Amino acid sequence: MALPATAGLAKSKKLALFVAQVAIADLLAIVALPLAFSSANYASVGIGALAVSALAIILYFVLSWLNHIGWLARMRAVSAARSFGLELRFSLILLLGFAAVAQSFGVTVMIAGFSMGLALAANGVPRRLAKQLFAVAEGFFSPLFFVLLGAQVNVVAAFVDSELLALAALLGVTAVLVHLVPRALGLSWPLSLISASQLGVPAAAVAIGQADGSISAGQAGAIMLGALFTILVSALAAALAATRQARR
């Protein structure tokens, strides 16, 4: 959420560092989710996370070796000349393989996708491949995930119980307040508020919680309402940051 929110701002080293920090924090939260839901399976989840990480490291070295011997360059040239899309095909096959390994250990597939993305990025992703992966992710996988999740979440159920509404407000307001802490470390107010936007982590929590029955329909709705509040705050902060930048 932070990346598109800051897309209209001028590029700088501070902004790049901010996006990287948000991505790392998001990854750590995603890793912590299965542990929070599976208190009895810490060993399995930990082994799964290590297995996915090991696969990502192996993939990095394999790609580095293929790049060193010139095989990647030749494959890209042939793929571009004949419109094969070989890198995209291989990337999707590897992604599904990583996801299968993660699922077998009860680890969220988000870890698999993020780890594989890091391995690809470390070896340099061509702009053409980056656009293809972005198109597949944002044009198919992400909408599919959120449509399926939205069909399962009953937000109306949160409005029936005052306690659930209080839970939604508590989650949303607390998320914003916690993300104001970096202001003490020199981060600007708008960027601090932009970093409060939550969508992937709450959606993953709802998906995992509803799958194992630890979250009720009303609680799932309250979690998503809290997430929507943080998105609203982030959008307003992004508009404020753009206005300030225009004035400068």
CA distance 225 to 247: 34
pLDDT at residue number 223: 92
Q: 85 φ, ψ to 5°?
A: 65, 40
pLDDT at residue number 39: 59
pTM of the model: 0.68
- Amino acid, single-letter form, for residue 69: I
Chain centre to alpha carbon of residue 123: 21
Domain ranges of the chain: 1-22+153-243, 38-146
Q: Which helix (H) or strand (E) holds 232?
A: helix 217-247
* pLDDT tens for the chain, residues 1 to 248: 777 777 777 777 777 778 778 878 877 787 777 677 765 566 777 788 788 889 999 999 998 999 889 888 888 888 888 888 888 899 889 989 998 998 888 777 777 887 888 888 888 777 778 788 888 887 888 788 777 777 778 788 788 888 999 999 999 999 999 988 888 877 788 888 888 888 878 888 888 787 777 888 889 889 999 999 999 999 898 888 888 778 87
CA distance 123 to 121: 5
DSSP string, 35-72: HHH-GGGHHHHHHHHHHHHHHHHHHHHHHHHHHHTTHH
149 CB-contact burial (10 Å; exposed 0-12 / middle 13-18 / buried 19+): middle
Chain centre to alpha carbon of residue 48: 18
